[in-house]
Structure 1
Amino acid sequence: MTTNIPGVLLAGGLARRMGGGDKPMRRIGGRTILERVIARLKPQCDGLILNANGDPVRFASFGLPVIADTVENFPGPLAGILAGLDWAAAKKPEVEFILSAAADCPFLPRDLVARLHRARTEQNAQLAVAASDGQSHPVIGLWSVALRDELRHALVVEDIRKIDRWTARYRLATVTWPTEPLDPFFNANTVEDIAEAERLAALDGG
């Protein structure tokens, strides 16, 4: 474990482009995407929680706490991040930062938390996000628990939904990962993506 940073896995989105259901429950190489995400992040984080709305029983086999959004009718990753910040404030008051990650990214870097934490510290930033191939992945990052009330205000009062609009207000460290042999932030959105993920899993050692 690198730090005392817990991780929140964002599983709120439904796989509409795959015919519905939970994207993280799709299988790649005999394992669910969520199993792969957990395997990548568990050694890096001080515990994991799953942000998902609806009946939490469907995730019971993973043995993680399941938390729903703490603000209603605000779909999207910012609501899930806020739920993770609220959980940390209530359950782990000593924690200053949490990691957020998309639960449909099966090849997350094994040095994700370490590099984000180092960049945020070195740049004296309030937040840190991942990037690859010239593109930021703001759903994958470190978030300050101290900013949770400001995030709640942005969501509920200002109706801000886009992560980039909110993070633009703060000192932000961006950390870029290489995309060879594969992009570690590849996410499975379509049936075609699942087929591509099977190929990438072989490159990634299964």
Structure 2
Amino acid sequence: MTGYAAVLLAGGAARRMRGVDKPARPVGGRPMLHRVLEAVAGADERIVVGPAGPVPEGVRVTREEPPGGGPVAATAAGLALLGPGTTTVALLAADLPLLTAAAVDGLRRALDGSRAGLACYVDGDGRRQQLCGAWRATALRAALDRLAAERGGTVDGAPVRGLLAGVAVREVAWTGSGPPPWFDCDTDEDVRRAEEWTR
């Protein structure tokens, strides 16, 4: 056991795709969710939070409370399933079809080589890609507890950026070959672009 776990957030409403099950949409012949799961195949534990169809053996599925409560509530639900031996958590959107194991390993190395609580990719405009990151489990638990206390005991509807207050963040530039690993598919056009990149 390495203490490395992955939590995939798969419960978005996909409003710009007319409410389809976005992580189930295929890119390169495979559902986006399965592509992300493959990128974290080396994790000791893999948790999918949200409605999910068939998943590989050993992957656990749970739901945020309340269902549709947003990415922070989903993060809390996924973290609740992880044991005390978990030291590092890859926190990932489930619609990152271009994510690779090498990209996740880059985040884990960046976290290990720093005192930060979170290592995440930044895009060319300097925007942090918080749902393509690796957390120290202790920092993520503390951030969830703090945010819940600030919001009267609930993280329902809380924004992801709310987790970052007071957290030291190691920003990671993508230097690998190929498309950016944080590319997410919010629209049909995004799916078409991802398909082109996978050819």
Match of 1:65 in 2: 60
Deviation (angstroms), 1:156: 5.8
Answer whether contact 1:40 1:107 (CA < 8 A) is retained. Answer: no
Deviation (angstroms), 1:168: 3.0
Equivalent AA in structure 2 for residue 7 of structure 1: A
The structure 2 residue matched to 1:163, chosen from 149, 152, 160, is: 160
Equivalent AA in structure 2 for residue 17 of structure 1: R
Q: 76-85 vs 8-17, which deviates more? A: 76-85
Segments of 5+ residues of structure 2 without an aligned counterpart are none
User: What is the alpha-carbon root mean square deviation over aligned residues?
Assistant: 2.4
Confirm whether residue 125 of structure 1 aligns to residue 125 of structure 2. Answer: no
Alignment of 1:38-57 (within 5 A): 38-43=37-42, 45-52=43-50, 56=51
Match of 2:79 in 1: 85
Q: Deviations over 1:4-32 (max 9, x none)?
A: 31101110102221121211101122211
Flag the 1:73–1:155 CA change in 2: closer, same or farther, 3 A. farther
Flag the 1:164–1:179 CA change in 2: closer, same or farther, 3 A. farther
Residue 60 of structure 1 aligns to a residue whose secondary structure is coil
Supply the distance in 2 between the matched residues of 1:20 and 1:14 (Cα, whole angstroms). 6
Flag the 1:149–1:122 CA change in 2: closer, same or farther, 3 A. closer
Flag the 1:61–1:41 CA change in 2: closer, same or farther, 3 A. closer
User: Percentage identity across aligned positions?
Assistant: 32
Answer whether contact 1:40 1:108 (CA < 8 A) is retained. Answer: yes
Supply the distance in 2 between the matched residues of 1:68 and 1:156 (Cα, whole angstroms). 21
Supply the distance in 2 between the matched residues of 1:47 and 1:172 (Cα, whole angstroms). 24
Confirm whether residue 141 of structure 1 aligns to residue 133 of structure 2. Answer: yes
Confirm whether residue 107 of structure 1 aligns to residue 98 of structure 2. Answer: yes
Flag the 1:31–1:117 CA change in 2: closer, same or farther, 3 A. closer
Answer whether contact 1:29 1:201 (CA < 8 A) is retained. Answer: yes
Equivalent AA in structure 2 for residue 140 of structure 1: C
Supply the distance in 2 between the matched residues of 1:73 and 1:153 (Cα, whole angstroms). 22
Q: 109-118 vs 94-103, which deviates more? A: 109-118
Q: Deviations over 1:60-85 (max 9, x none)?
A: 3444210112x437722222222222
Supply the distance in 2 between the matched residues of 1:181 and 1:61 (Cα, whole angstroms). 27
Q: Deviations over 1:121-151 (max 9, x none)?
A: 3221122222232321011222233242541
Supply the distance in 2 between the matched residues of 1:37 and 1:165 (Cα, whole angstroms). 24
Supply the distance in 2 between the matched residues of 1:28 and 1:187 (Cα, whole angstroms). 11
Equivalent AA in structure 2 for residue 120 of structure 1: L
Q: Structure 2 length normalisation: TM-score? A: 0.83
Residue 42 of structure 1 aligns to a residue whose secondary structure is coil
Equivalent AA in structure 1 for residue 167 of structure 2: Y
Segments of 5+ residues of structure 1 without an aligned counterpart are none
